Chains A and B, each alone.
Chain A
């Protein structure tokens, strides 16, 4: 690939000139900026300045609040962004739309720090397009002072008897307003894989969700359940792990549990867009993030587990010893990454979902 040579030389020029040890004989295209589009509250902000001062690459750092917002901005193309954060199950859709560049691994030497467990995922065979950023789970956030018995399994949030026992008849329980996550949770409660597409099993899941519904405050997302949990308006919420730790920072009674049956393991990924204006700088950014010290700083600051095996010795003890953030091996084995689905398969989910929320 002819392009690789130019790109590689440009990176060499970056490192060399920056320390004054090489002269500028390389004709590199000027790439003095990288445009990053990612979830809000997802980095230790000082790292952006550190990257700027070390590489002299300016960073335009924009954030989104929801997957829909990101999809609307990126899928039409020409978004102007170089690096975008995309959750695992959405990757194939972006690949099919021809939006993602193939990564040049020669520009990503820090890939050597990636844990084998996160290589070659189903959503991106061979890591052609993605480098994982951080990962987490989708379990249950609950108030350990107000809920009478400890929450340990999906039954605690799905079985009407148990719900009544935990919180009486008040409607203080929420589920995610996310079709795949919520149906997946019901499937795990029933002992099935959350990727199981068997219609009989899906029908059972529907019955579980319908039986649970009278006890719910609502189906909702992070913007509502984070303050809801910390402000004790909600006692149990189906929630993303990191969000629960955010609520916990305000209210120490808020606890996060990965249910015994297991749950979703999600991975957010850095990708380079095919029409990225600065593909070289984009790789430099991703490689910087993959540095163990940088990755550890992000995890320590934001309470998310990361896939960087060499960052582990640099993580705060409290983080690494928290089973909700770094689950022990036997729990980890029960976690599942959501499989991407075809549009026909998607319809199966939609049928169940409409019957539940409709």
Chain B
């Protein structure tokens, strides 16, 4: 059973299909991300789960209950928006207690719950501080504590780390993951940042133009992208056009022999995707399933690695992330190669 399930859900705004036949299931205690560029439908999907939008078609289930007609306030769902709206003139404690006071919760219970939630977000002694005395990351934690104090079964997070600097952001990603694991609340997280989604999620639904392109673990999404959009949106990749034969050989025009692949049980027109960091390079390269002669066209030193462009076979260009220790000279011949398991073939849809 899923904690949150969307079955063939669509939502239109005028002629725009914001959410287009989306089906997905979020398990209890899962950290689930909706990932995609702006306008992909991820926020509208989140708003449908919250109850701020009614789906035009399809079914929303919360647990075993069909929730399409359940008003938002009867759904056991909390929300954290990007705009935290903390009260700058009030203490951390009063900020977290605000919603509980509004709901006329007793004083002792408020004290207990607020202190527990402060403990949870790693700010146990911060109750008396003022908001303006806190760093951006600490304010973010207060925002999370304010949402968690209501003990929602599902917490929806709408790009809450957006305004933070990269360093604090990366730290908060790990913190959010820790908090989620500790309390076991189901988190549904909306983001356009692939790194963020890969770092935190148990499952990711990659969305584009209102549709779900692929659902999977971060590893599946990265290593086995099912569409060109997913391969391209998540990380960098090389695409090679060709045909997959019945014996797991991918014939690519311009290469002297087919590329051997693994785990593809179909044949037909496709696109092979190979990540730059999975391609080996060097004159002494050996022992890989696929090896080709190539010529170094350009390279840029980037600290931890070197970004190399090579031309292989009949002028096929590939981007490669190489170790800075690999000897490189523009115009010189070298070898490139990769193992079967490192590439994936995306089937082209017949229209």
Contact = CB atoms under 8 A, between A and B. Distances in A.
Interface of A: 13-20, 24, 30-33, 44-47, 49-50, 52-58, 288, 291, 293, 296-297, 300, 314-316
A260 to B, nearest CB: 33
Nearest to A33: B52
B76 A50 contact: no
B89 A296 contact: yes
Interface stretch (B10-18, B101-109, B253-261, B306-314): B101-109
Interface in B140-185: 147, 150-151
B105 A300 contact: no
Q: Majority SS of interface residues in chain A? A: helix
Contact of B150 (A18, A44, A47): A18
A291 B73 contact: no
B75 A56 contact: yes
A24 B85 CA distance: 29
A46 B52 CA distance: 17
B80 interface: yes
B103 A19 contact: yes
B229 interface: no
B99 interface: yes
Given A19-B105, A45-B83, A293 B90 contact: yes
Nearest to B75: A56
A20 B73 contact: no
Contacts of B69: 30
Contact of A20 (B76, B83, B100): B76
A75 B209 CA distance: 40
A44 B85 contact: yes
Contact of A19 (B89, B90, B150): B150
Contact of B74 (A24, A44, A293): A24
Nearest to A55: B73
A222 B72 CA distance: 40
Nearest to A296: B89
Contacts of A57: 72-73
Interface in B64-108: 69, 71-81, 83-90, 94, 98-100, 102-105
Contacts of B73: 13-14, 17-18, 32, 55-57
B51 interface: yes
Contacts of B84: 46
Contact of B90 (A13, A14, A314): A314
Contacts of B89: 293, 296-297, 300, 314-316
Nearest to B105: A19
Nearest to B90: A293
Contact of B85 (A50, A58, A296): A50
Contacts of B98: 54, 293
A94 to B, nearest CB: 30
A314 B98 CA distance: 14
Q: Which 9 A-B pairs have the closest CB atoms?
A: A46-B85, A56-B72, A49-B81, A56-B73, A50-B85, A46-B83, A58-B52, A30-B71, A53-B79
Given A13-B73, A32-B51, A56-B73, A49 B85 contact: yes
Contact of B87 (A32, A293, A315): A293
B52 A52 contact: yes
B87 A52 contact: no
Interface in B35-86: 50-52, 69, 71-81, 83-86
A287 to B, nearest CB: 9
Interface in B88-133: 88-90, 94, 98-100, 102-105
Given A49-B85, A58-B72, 11 more contacts: A13-B74, A20-B151, A30-B71, A32-B52, A32-B71, A46-B85, A52-B52, A52-B81, A53-B79, A58-B51, A58-B52
Given A46-B83, A49-B83, A52-B52, A17 B88 contact: no
A53 B78 contact: yes
Contact of B99 (A47, A54, A314): A54
Contacts of A15: 102-104
A35 B85 CA distance: 20
6 contacts: A16-B103, A19-B103, A45-B85, A53-B78, A56-B71, A316-B89
A32 B72 contact: yes
Nearest to A59: B52
B142 to A, nearest CB: 13
Contacts of B147: 53
A47 to B, nearest CB: 6
Nearest to B99: A54
Given A19-B150, A24-B74, A32-B73, A54 B87 contact: no
B51 A56 contact: yes
Contact of A52 (B79, B86, B100, B103): B79
Contacts of A288: 102
A140 to B, nearest CB: 30
A277 B105 CA distance: 30
B81 A291 contact: no
Nearest to A17: B74
Nearest to B100: A19
